[in-house]
């Protein structure tokens, strides 16, 4: 019983909170009325803005900006003399002694904007989690909506709020994300921010084989004769873009360098018969490096390797060319 009374007494002290008033204003407005406050003793009273004193008793620190309405003694009203700017927003409190009597919260009405947000270009790896932020500000509180897709095909992804969390990133997350923020204050169109998410992954390598113009589908090995024409097309999907090397056994034939898009052919004289070409694939993250040659000297019957390497890792595909056995 005793503790219960004690608790009640305590809680009643806690709840003796000052009255709070929220005032919205538009930039350039003048406050029509002062901030009202009734005190017992003006000499013990003060106005503060975010705990910085504006006045002490009858003294006003910045009298160009503020004045005390000197109507009748118990009233200790603060007048803001100038038209209001954005940085006039905040907490104004009237205190007597150490007790807060009244609090005004001034809020500037403002169109939505996105002053803080994630970097506009983000790299990630498969399986990562990425959080995109659009920390919109404005009053009334802006609504933030997220969109995804590239080019014209941005579609709402049904998520609202300052953050878009993307979990277990896959290659298909490689696109543009957009946030739009809008509120009801003088806005017809939302403000937008774009984010390009790059998903890095190890090169995905496959090799297509053509023998005398015909496609061979049996994958890793080919039976050929002298004078047969072989076209090996190595298709690579990778982010970031890879360097690609064709080699015969352990001898380099040539390397495609993604930095300048050029092929550097090996100076080995055995390699003159190989022609190398590149072609970009439809998706921007793909390239084909083709090796085109005619089976000739015995050494051309060999294993051909396509190696693709980027900053994440490397992959190889091999095609073995065997001589058709004579009976
Ligand atoms: C407040 O202080 C002023 C001078 O500091 C004094 O003249 C006045 O009488 C005081 N008022 C009260 C109510 O104590
Ligand atoms: C956005 O605000 C959240 C807290 O609400 C914070 O954790 C995050 O770091 C902010 N993002 C940026 C880019 O400022
Ligand atoms: C954002 O991306 C969309 C779609 O790609 C584009 O139409 C728009 O101009 C971009 N906006 C900004 C602010 O970069
Ligand atoms: C992450 O995605 C991959 C497919 O992209 C899936 O195989 C795997 O199970 C997922 N992992 C988790 C933890 O959801
Ligand atoms: C390539 O392999 C052969 C035998 O397999 C070896 O004699 C030769 O030294 C190797 N060359 C290089 C450059 O590794
Ligand atoms: C690709 O080749 C360039 C030289 O053209 C080299 O600087 C770079 O390190 C190579 N990248 C990888 C991932 O091997």
* pLDDT in single tens digits along all 327 residues of the chain: 333 333 433 344 444 688 999 999 999 999 889 999 999 999 999 999 998 999 999 999 999 999 998 667 789 999 999 999 999 999 999 999 999 999 999 999 999 999 999 999 999 999 999 999 999 999 999 999 999 987 667 888 888 899 999 999 998 898 999 999 999 999 999 999 999 999 999 999 999 999 999 999 877 889 999 999 999 999 999 989 999 999 999 899 999 999 998 898 888 777 778 888 888 876 667 899 999 999 988 999 999 999 999 999 999 999 999 999 865
Say which ligand is closest to the CA of 167: 4
CATH class, range 111-200: mainly beta
- Confirm or reject: Cβ of 73 under 6 Å from ligand 1: no
Residue nearest ligand 6's atom 3 by CA: 257
Say which ligand is closest to the CA of 314: 6
CB atoms within 10 A of CB 73: 11
Residue nearest ligand 1's atom 5 by CA: 43
- Residues 6 or more apart whose Cβ sits within 8 Å of residue 265: 253, 254, 271, 274, 276
Rounded-to-integer distance, Cα 306 and Cα 318, Å? 6
Residue nearest ligand 2's atom 7 by CA: 133
Rounded-to-integer distance, Cα 132 and Cα 144, Å? 12
Say which ligand is closest to the CA of 114: 2
Q: First and final CA of the chain: distance in angstroms?
A: 109
pLDDT at 276: 85
pTM of the model: 0.68
User: What number does the ligand 1 atom closest to the CA of 73 have?
Assistant: 13
pLDDT at 327: 55
Burial-class residue 142 by CB neighbours within 10 Å (0-12, 13-18, 19+): buried
pLDDT at 278: 85
Using CA atoms in the order 108, 110, 112, 114, what is the torsion angle rounded to 10 degrees? -60
Where does the chain hold its CATH 2.60.40.10 domain(s)? 2-108, 111-200, 202-323
Backbone φ and ψ for 162, nearest 5 degrees, come out as: -65, -20
- Confirm or reject: Cβ of 58 under 6 Å from ligand 6: no
pLDDT at 7: 42
pLDDT at 283: 67
β-strands 143-148, 243-248: how paired?
unpaired
pLDDT at 150: 76
- Specify the CATH number of the domain 202-323: 2.60.40.10
Six-digit token string for 294: 């005619």
Residue 61 DSSP label:
S
- Residues 6 or more apart whose Cβ sits within 8 Å of residue 33: none
Residue nearest ligand 4's atom 4 by CA: 170
pLDDT at 65: 94
Residue nearest ligand 4's atom 12 by CA: 168
Residue nearest ligand 6's atom 2 by CA: 257
Residue nearest ligand 1's atom 7 by CA: 43
pLDDT at 153: 76
Instruction: Count the alpha carbons within 13 Å of 212 in the hemisphere toward its beta carbon.
Output: 7
Pocket test for ligand 2, best of 114, 115, 116 (most atoms within 8 A of CB): 116
- Confirm or reject: Cβ of 243 under 6 Å from ligand 6: yes
Is residue 169 within a helix (H) or strand (E), and if so which, with residue range?
none
Residue nearest ligand 6's atom 7 by CA: 259
Say which ligand is closest to the CA of 247: 5
Q: Which of 209, 202, 204, 203 is nearest to 304 (CA)?
A: 209
Centre of ligand 6 to C-alpha 201, Å, is 16
Inter-residue contact 75 to 69 (CB < 8 Å): yes
Centre of ligand 1 to C-alpha 96, Å, is 15
User: What number does the ligand 1 atom closest to the CA of 43 have?
Assistant: 1
CATH class, range 2-108: mainly beta
Six-digit token string for 327: 């009976």
Residue nearest ligand 3's atom 4 by CA: 151
Inter-residue contact 270 to 251 (CB < 8 Å): yes
Strands (E), 168-311: 176-182, 191-211, 214-216, 221-224, 229-239, 243-248, 251-257, 262-265, 275-280, 286-294, 303-309
pLDDT at 2: 38
Rounded-to-integer distance, Cα 226 and Cα 303, Å? 16
- Confirm or reject: Cβ of 322 under 6 Å from ligand 4: no
- Confirm or reject: Cβ of 168 under 6 Å from ligand 4: yes
Say which ligand is closest to the CA of 190: 3
Q: Provide residues with CB under 6 Å of ligand 3.
A: 151, 154, 176, 178, 192, 194
Inter-residue contact 192 to 116 (CB < 8 Å): no
């Amino acid at each position: 019983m005793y503790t219960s009374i004690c608790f009640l007494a305590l809680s009643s002290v806690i709840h003796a909170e000052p009255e709070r008033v929220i005032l919205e204003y538009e930039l350039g407005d003048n406050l029509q009325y002062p901030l009202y406050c009734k005190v017992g003793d003006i000499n013990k009273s003060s106005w503060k803005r975010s705990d910085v004193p504006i006045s002490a008793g009858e003294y006003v620190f910045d009298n160009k900006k503020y004045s005390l309405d000197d109507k009748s003694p118990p009233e200790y009203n603060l007048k803001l003399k100038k038209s209001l700017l954005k940085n006039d927003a905040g907490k104004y409190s009237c205190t007597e002694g150490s007790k807060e009597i009244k609090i005004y919260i001034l809020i500037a009405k403002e169109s939505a904007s996105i002053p803080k947000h994630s970097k506009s270009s983000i790299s990630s790896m498969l399986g990562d989690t990425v959080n995109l932020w659009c920390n919109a500000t404005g009053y009334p509180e802006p609504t933030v909506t997220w969109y995804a897709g590239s080019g014209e095909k941005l579609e709402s992804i049904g998520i609202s709020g300052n953050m878009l969390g993307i979990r277990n990133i896959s290659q298909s997350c490689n696109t543009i994300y957009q946030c739009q923020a809008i509120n009801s204050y003088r806005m017809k169109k939302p403000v937008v921010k774009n984010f390009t998410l790059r998903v890095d992954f190890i090169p995905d390598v496959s090799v297509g084989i053509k023998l005398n113009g015909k496609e061979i589908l049996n994958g890793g090995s080919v039976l050929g004769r002298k004078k047969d024409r072989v076209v090996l097309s190595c298709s690579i999907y990778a982010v970031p873009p890879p360097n690609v090397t064709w080699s015969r056994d352990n001898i380099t034939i040539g390397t495609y360098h993604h930095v300048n898009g050029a092929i550097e052919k090996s100076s080995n004289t055995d390699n003159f018969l190989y022609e190398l070409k590149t072609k970009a694939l439809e998706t921007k993250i793909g390239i084909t490096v083709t090796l085109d040659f005619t089976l000739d000297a015995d050494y051309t019957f060999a294993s051909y390797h396509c190696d693709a390497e980027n900053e994440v890792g490397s992959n190889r595909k091999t095609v073995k060319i065997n001589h058709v056995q004579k009976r």
